Amino acid sequence: MPTFDYAPAPESRAVLTLQPSYGLFIGGDFVEPTSGTAMATIEPATEQVLAEVAVADESDVDRAVRAARRAYQRTWSRLSGSERGKYLYRIARILQERSREFAVLESLDNGKPIKESRDVDVPLAAAHFFYHAGWADKLEWAGHGPDPRPLGVAAQVIPWNFPLLMLAWKIAPALACGNTVVLKPAETTPLTALLFADVCRQAELPPGVVNIITGAGETGAALISHPEVDKVAFTGSTEVGRQIARTVAGSRKKVTLELGGKAANIVFDDAPIDQAVEGIVNGIYFNQGHVCCAGSRLLVQESVAEEVIARLRHRMSTLRVGDPLDKNTDVGAINSAAQLARITELSAAGEAEGAQRWSAPCPLPEKGFWFSPTVFTGVAPAHRIAREEIFGPVLSVLTFRTPSEAVARANNTPYGLSAGIWTEKGSRILWMADRLRAGVIWANTFNRFDPTSPFGGYRESGYGREGGRHGLAAYLKGIAL
Q: Hey, which residues are catalytic here?
A: 258, 292
- In whole angstroms, the minimum distance from the beta carbon of 432 to another protein comes to 8
- In whole angstroms, the minimum distance from the beta carbon of 200 to another protein comes to 20
Judge residue 82's burial from the number of C-beta atoms within 10 Å of its C-beta, 0-12 exposed, 13-18 middle, 19 or more buried: exposed
Count of chain residues binding another protein (CB under 8 A): 28
Cβ closest to another protein, residue 96 vs residue 237: 96
Of 400, 427, 415, the closest CA to residue 295 belongs to 415
Residues, the chain: 481
430 lies in the binding site for another protein (CB under 8 A): yes
- In whole angstroms, the minimum distance from the beta carbon of 435 to another protein comes to 10
431 lies in the binding site for another protein (CB under 8 A): yes
Q: How many CA atoms lie within 13 A of 412 on its CB side?
A: 17
Q: How many Cβ atoms are within 10 Å of 408's Cβ, its own excluded?
A: 13
d(CA 342, CA 5): 32
Residues paired with 41 in a beta bridge: 51
134 lies in the binding site for another protein (CB under 8 A): yes
427 lies in the binding site for another protein (CB under 8 A): yes
Of 480, 438, 60, 474, the closest CA to residue 235 belongs to 474
Cβ closest to another protein, residue 237 vs residue 453: 453
DSSP string, 393-441: SEEEEEEESSHHHHHHHHT-SS--SEEEEE-S-HHHHHHHHHH---SEE
Contact yes or no for 107/16 (Cβ under 8 A): no
Cβ closest to another protein, residue 240 vs residue 299: 299
Cβ closest to another protein, residue 65 vs residue 443: 443
Cβ closest to another protein, residue 147 vs residue 239: 147
d(CA 427, CA 425): 6
270 lies in the binding site for another protein (CB under 8 A): no
Segment 50-89, which members bind another protein (CB under 8 A)? 82, 85-86, 89
In which region does residue 8 sit, left (phi positive, over 0), alpha (psi from -120 to 50) or beta (all else)? Answer: beta
Q: Can you point out the beta strands (E) in 148-204?
A: 153-157, 180-184
380 lies in the binding site for another protein (CB under 8 A): no
Binding region for another protein (CB under 8 A) out of 195-203, 284-292, 381-389, 425-433: 425-433
- In whole angstroms, the minimum distance from the beta carbon of 145 to another protein comes to 14
User: What residues have CB less than 8 Å from 122, skipping those under 6 apart?
Assistant: 95, 99, 102, 103, 106, 164, 165
- In whole angstroms, the minimum distance from the beta carbon of 11 to another protein comes to 25
Contact yes or no for 294/261 (Cβ under 8 A): yes
d(CA 410, CA 7): 41
Cβ closest to another protein, residue 127 vs residue 183: 127
Of 378, 359, 346, the closest CA to residue 316 belongs to 359
204 lies in the binding site for another protein (CB under 8 A): no
Of 225, 187, 174, the closest CA to residue 71 belongs to 174
Q: How many Cβ atoms are within 10 Å of 279's Cβ, its own excluded?
A: 23
Cβ closest to another protein, residue 108 vs residue 175: 175
Q: Which of 47, 49, 141, 354 binds another protein (CB under 8 A)?
A: 141
422 lies in the binding site for another protein (CB under 8 A): no
- In whole angstroms, the minimum distance from the beta carbon of 323 to another protein comes to 32
368 lies in the binding site for another protein (CB under 8 A): no
Cβ closest to another protein, residue 220 vs residue 468: 468
133 lies in the binding site for another protein (CB under 8 A): yes
- In whole angstroms, the minimum distance from the beta carbon of 468 to another protein comes to 7
Cβ closest to another protein, residue 163 vs residue 451: 451
Contact code string over 87-106 relative to another protein, x by CB under 8 A: --x-----------------
467 lies in the binding site for another protein (CB under 8 A): no
456 lies in the binding site for another protein (CB under 8 A): no
434 lies in the binding site for another protein (CB under 8 A): yes
Contact code string over 303-342 relative to another protein, x by CB under 8 A: ----------------------------------------
439 lies in the binding site for another protein (CB under 8 A): no
d(CA 158, CA 186): 6
- In whole angstroms, the minimum distance from the beta carbon of 71 to another protein comes to 23
Question: For the CA atoms of the chain, what is the radius of gyration?
Answer: 22
> From edge to edge, which strands make up the β-sheet containing 356-359?
356-359, 374-377, 394-400, 297-301, 264-267, 418-422, 440-443
Contacting positions for another protein (CB under 8 A): 82, 85-86, 89, 127, 130-131, 133-138, 141-143, 403-404, 426-428, 430-431, 434, 451-452, 468-469
